Structure 1
Amino acid sequence: MPMNLIHRRLCRSDGWVRGVRETLMPWTLDGVDLGDDVLEIGPGFGATTRVLVDKVPRLTAVEVDPASVKLLTGQFPSVTVIEADGAELPLLDNSFSAVTCFTMLHHVPSPAEQDRLFAETFRVLRPQGLFVGLDSRPNLRFRFIHLFDTMIVVDPDTLPRRLEAVGFRDVEIAMTETRFRFRARKP
């Protein structure tokens, strides 16, 4: 979803890529087996994709922004990149061992749209598949970076109920002062 110029520069920076690789992804994926066929929703400029591509045998990325789709396709020839909305996935039911989304839920334009993304995630996961992700908790820096962006913050306290409402079980949330990770399983 729309991002201002400062935000776009930050997400393309070497510092962000390094932080994703060295801090965010290890914390988010600690102890998680993603399986053999993973879907990443909303990879943007691909910082998280760089980590996932070396961790899983098959990776599909769904990205709504056409420019990012072109960038991802050029950077990651082994990844299937699809231009689509995460709330309307053009994918078959029960297809993936895991679905991931990292630092992108707050760019989904409404809670209702976020819930549709959760329902679509549930639909495309295989039984026993995992939904794994990371997002931000609001603070002054986060709000500044997102001036004039789409920014609908996900409340980690209500996220378990929202995920359970579409069918997920075994929902786990872990938080730091600025971020939270989540894990949920399709029964």
Structure 2
Amino acid sequence: MTIRLLGRTEIRHLAKSIDFRPRKSFGQNFVHDANTVRRIVSASGVNRSDHVLEVGPGLGSLTLALLDRGARVTAVEIDPVLARQLPTTIADHSHSEINRLTVLNRDILTFQRSELTEEPTALVANLPYNVAVPALLHLLAEFPSIRTVMVMVQAEVAERLAAEPGGKDYGVPSVKVRFFGNVRRYGMVSPTVFWPIPRVYSGLVRIDRYETSPWPTDTEFRQQVFELIDVAFAQRRKTARNAFAEWAGSGNESASRLLAASIDPSRRGETLGVADFVRLLQRSEDWHVVPKATPAETAEPVTDTHDEVPSR
């Protein structure tokens, strides 16, 4: 049976029927355009063999489109009102497809693998923009079974995630996400497809996890690499030789370690790729003493827009 997707009028009526008003603190803006959700699901490549983890399903627009592809879906929703309503909405629009949906009322930033009985193979989500980057990195690390990621985020964050070394948008998120896989942009999404209408454009980003990782993926190694990335970008104007001085020792020792990893000591952090950071760590005899740095860019806050951007 064909699944009926939600439209603008139906989204508004549904919210009214449960006396629900979108909360800015959760960045609640809901997709009401069927072509947009079909585009997202099609670009994700999910099919009947996939178990999809969806973050922030909201009123269910994207959830219905995922079920329409035949996938099994676990939807993680932080808002208890929406989490309670979602199964009813799905049942009303898809009937028998409700048995392929699991809804969990959880905060995605603390969500753990042990809370699922089946490992997810894909992540498809309209991520809450104020926590998009930390949520994405957390899920990629927590669920190694996820092979494909398709997320809608604020356009500025999408540009940062997909930026290449040396570009103006290249930063901590650009490097860290590439620890897990390859990153590609999949175009823009207009604010007019949301209710309420936000003041920013959205961007689609797809991540394909490496089939065979080029480097170790254990937690300790990943954390050490991420700490090196934080060190480099905490002092963007400094050369690598000076930026890594606290970690490596004197300027000469720092230069020697960089050269041993085939990195020119005069390069700046924003020109280094994830493979450079991995190589630097692996070539260092004392890699286990990498100091913790404040990951100033990791969360990528966006000034004046974090509470008015789509998360559903």
Cα distance, 1:155 vs structure 2: 2.1
Inter-partner Cα distance in structure 1 for 2:42 and 2:84: 30
> Corresponding residue for 2:136?
118
1:158 counterpart residue number? 160
What whole-Å deviation, never above 9, does each CA across 1:34-69 have from its counterpart, x for those lacking one? Answer: 242111011111111111112133111000000000
For the Cα contact (< 8 Å) 1:38–1:56, is it kept in 2? Answer: no
Aligned CA distance change for structure 1 residues 32 and 174 (closer, same or farther; 3 Å)? closer
Summarize the Cα distance change of 1:44–1:116 in structure 2 as closer, same or farther, 3 Å threshold. same
**How far, CA to CA, are the matches of 1:156 and 1:55 in structure 2?**
25
Q: Displacement of 1:31 after TM fit?
A: 4.5
* AA of the residue aligned to 1:99: L
Query: Contact (CA 8 Å) 2:54, 2:123: kept in 1 or not?
Result: yes
Mapped to 2, the partners of 1:33 and 1:26 lie a distance apart of 11
Is residue 100 from structure 1 mapped to residue 124 from structure 2 by the alignment?
yes
Residues 47 and 32 of structure 1: CA distance in aligned 2, closer, same or farther (over 3 Å): closer
Equivalences for 1:121-160 in 2 at 5 Å? Answer: 121-122=139-140, 123-126=142-145, 129-137=147-155, 154-160=156-162
Q: Does 1:88 align with 2:88?
A: no
**Are residues 1:37 and 2:51 paired?**
yes
CA separation of 1:31 and 1:42: change in aligned 2, threshold 3 A: closer
Partner in structure 2 of residue 169 of structure 1: 181
Give the match for residue 150 of structure 1: none
Amino acid at match of 1:44: G
Q: Distance in 1 between matches of 2:56 and 2:174?
A: 18
Contact 1:87 1:114 in 2 (8 A): no
CA change 1:133–1:115 in 2 (3 A) is closer
**CA drift at 1:120:** 2.5
**How far apart in 2 are the matches of 1:71 and 1:125?**
30
Q: Mind listing any 5+ residue stretches in structure 1 that lack a counterpart? A: 138-153
More moved, 37-46 vs 170-179: 170-179
Q: Which has the higher strand share?
A: 1
TM-score normalised by length of structure 1: 0.69
Which of 16, 23, 39 does residue 3 from structure 1 map onto? 23
The whole-number CA distance in structure 2 between the counterparts of 1:97 and 1:165 is 20
| Cα displacement string for residues 99-131 of structure 1 (whole angstroms, at most 9, x for unaligned residues) | 1112x332x3xxxx433311232122416x111
Aligned counterparts of 1:125 and 1:99: Cα–Cα separation in 2: 11
- Point out 4+ residue stretches in structure 1 off by more than 6 angstroms: none
Secondary structure of the structure 2 residue equivalent to 1:74? helix
Structure in which a larger fraction of residues adopt helix? 2
Identity %: 19
- Aligned letter for 1:85? D
TM-score by length of 2: 0.43
8 A contact 2:75–2:104 mirrored in 1? yes
Q: How many angstroms does 1:183 deviate by?
A: 0.4
- In structure 1, which of residues 24, 36, 44 is the aligned counterpart of residue 36 of structure 2? 24
Secondary structure at the counterpart of residue 145 of structure 2: strand
**C-alpha displacement of 1:181:** 0.7
1:182 has 2:193 as partner: no
Q: CA 1:28 to 1:37, structure 2 compared with 1: closer, same or farther past 3 Å?
A: same
Paired residue type of 2:109: A
What is the RMSD of the two structures over their aligned residues, measured on CA atoms?
2.7
The answer on whether the counterparts of 2:44 and 2:124 sit within 8 Å (CA) in structure 1 is no
Alignment of 1:61-72 (within 5 A): 61-72=75-86
Contact 2:187–2:204 (Cα < 8 Å) also in 1: yes
Tell me the amino acid that sits aligned with residue 161 of structure 2.
L
